[in-house]
Structure 1
Amino acid sequence: MITQQHVQESLSRSFIHAIAGSAGVNLHVGREFDYGFDGTFRPVIIRGKRRVESGFPVDFQLKCTKSWSHEAKQVAYNIETKTYNDLVTRDPEGIGAVLILLCVPDDPAKWVEVCEEYIRMQRCCYYTVLSGDPVAHEGSTKKILIDRTNVLTPDALIGLLANERERKARAAS
Structure 2
Amino acid sequence: MPNRPRAGELLVARADALGGYWHQAVILLLDSDESGSLGVILNRFSETDLADVLPHWQHLVCPPQVLFEGGPVSPAGAVCVAKLSATGEEPPGWRRFHADLGLLHLDTPVELAAGAYADLRIFAGYCGWEPGQLEGELMRGDWHRVPVRDEDVFGVDPQDLWRRVLRRQGGDLSFFSTWAEDPESN
Specify if TM > 0.5: no
TM-score, length basis structure 1: 0.28
Q: Name which structure has the greater RCO, CA cutoff 8 Å, separation 6+.
A: 2
